[in-house]
Amino acid sequence: MEFSLSETQAMVQKAAREYATRAILPEAAAIDREERFPRAILKGLAELGLMAVNVPEELGGAGAGPVAYALAMQEVARACASTAVTMAVTNMVGEVIAAFGTDEQKKTYNPRLASGEYVAGAFALSEPGAGSDPGAMSTTATRDGDGWVLDGQKQWITSGAHAGVMVVWARTGDREKLPGTRGISCFLVEGGTKGLVVGKAEDKMGIRGSNTVSLTFDACRVPASALLGQLDGGFKIAMMALDGGRIGISCQAIGIARAALDESVQYARDRRQFDKPIAEFQATQWKLADMTTELDAAHLLAMRAAWLKEQRRAFSREASMAKVFATEAANRICNKAVQIHGGYGYIREFAAERHLRDARVTMIYEGTSEVQRIVIARSTLA
């Protein structure tokens, strides 16, 4: 068993930590307060190769692998969860195109996503009536001459207003013959395409510097070359992409929780009550001990899933286990961080309340905790 990092992994981690500490952390509170989409910061991430960590070098990516990506995600999320989710989705979109795209699609989109020419990519699967059950989607793509016409609505689309390219799922099969998860295809739609209408940005509890919108496809025409992967074979692409995406969100949660723990340690050392630092009270120590242990367990689960992915072995169950544990642990950790900070944990002057707000969504997006448990239980009972 090998727990140490390769030279490349250590280098990516160091580069991400250095940039996150220097360029992202000082902006994080303002990004949240002003709901600012951090364009310049995202460009900087792209320049470091962090928008396409696990995309091959010949397509403009860093080619550093899933473990390096997981480490980088933790570092960025530790500084700013909003920036981290934009990075996570962009990396996921790049990986999907690299894995399923034609040479032409890869040549067109991967270098743009990796270099920051496109500030972000977007992943448009969920709909108002199809969240945990994407097989119930109703957006359609109808063949029309040499192209496709998309009609329908997508919901909760991260970076939907800014993405240069989005991966969009739609029904292509006859609903009678190919119901549910069958008869769904995947398309690459460029931002600004005629018939693609971006809805208003959601006013969210956390990750307020990320952009979340609905998208309406109103007779939105795309060429035949926009089809990604096999006709009617799009559902599996979504599931495979989400398996990897779930490692990313585990690591986002771990990064947020790590920040909450570090700040709690600092606060517990500085804050004095009853003539001594509150770190000297067992009530505080036990909280810190549990936070440390849970964070490490989350980290190990996430790294195991990333390592399996790197070995090209099955990792779906392990990604779901990492996600459900890491995101729920992060919420417990952030909640304890607020408690350790007392009244100061409840005001904006300290970051503890932001961490708790940011952590909450990690149990919801890219598959709720309930969906992760479905995936895990199916494998346990198989």
Active site residues: 366
- The type of residue at 365 is Y
Q: Is 194:167 a contact under the CB 8 Å cutoff?
A: no
- With binding defined as CB under 6 A, does residue 60 bind ligand COS? no
Q: Which is nearer to ligand COS, 147 or 233 (CB)?
A: 233
Residue 368 beta carbon to ligand COS: minimum distance, rounded to whole angstroms: 7
Q: Kindly tell me which residue out of 135, 179, 223, 342 binds ligand COS, with binding defined by CB under 6 A.
A: 135
Q: Which stretch binds ligand COS (CB under 6 A): 2-10, 171-179, 183-191, 364-372?
A: 364-372
- With binding defined as CB under 6 A, does residue 126 bind ligand COS? yes
Residue 316 beta carbon to ligand COS: minimum distance, rounded to whole angstroms: 4
Q: Which two tokens stand for residue 202?
A: 């959601």
Q: Kindly tell me which residue out of 6, 21, 102, 132 binds ligand COS, with binding defined by CB under 6 A.
A: 132
Q: Which long-range contacts (CB under 8 A, 24 or more apart) does 40-48 make?
A: 41/80, 41/83, 42/83, 42/86, 42/87, 42/90, 42/116, 42/119, 42/120, 43/116, 43/119, 44/19, 45/19, 45/76, 45/83, 45/87, 45/116, 46/114, 46/115, 46/116, 47/116, 48/15, 48/16, 48/19
Cα dihedral 216→92→302→77 (10° resolution): -80
- Give the largest Cα separation in the chain, rounded: 79
Residue 131 beta carbon to ligand COS: minimum distance, rounded to whole angstroms: 6
- With binding defined as CB under 6 A, does residue 371 bind ligand COS? yes
Residue 372 beta carbon to ligand COS: minimum distance, rounded to whole angstroms: 9
Give, in degrees to the nearest 5, the angle at Cα 159 between 83 and 370.
80
Residue 9 beta carbon to ligand COS: minimum distance, rounded to whole angstroms: 25
- Give CA–CA dist 335/173, Å, rounded: 46
- With binding defined as CB under 6 A, does residue 327 bind ligand COS? no
Q: Which is nearer to ligand COS, 267 or 307 (CB)?
A: 307
Using CB under 6 A as the binding criterion, the count of chain residues that bind ligand COS stands at 23
Which x/- pattern over 165-184 shows residues binding ligand COS (rule: CB under 6 A)?
Answer: ----------------xx--
Which x/- pattern over 224-243 shows residues binding ligand COS (rule: CB under 6 A)?
Answer: -----------xx--xx-xx
Residue 190 to residues 177, 236, 313, 341, Cα–Cα distance (Å): 30, 22, 32, 45
| Residues contributing to the site for ligand COS (CB under 6 A) | 123, 125-126, 132-135, 156, 181-182, 235-236, 239-240, 242-243, 316, 365-367, 371, 374-375
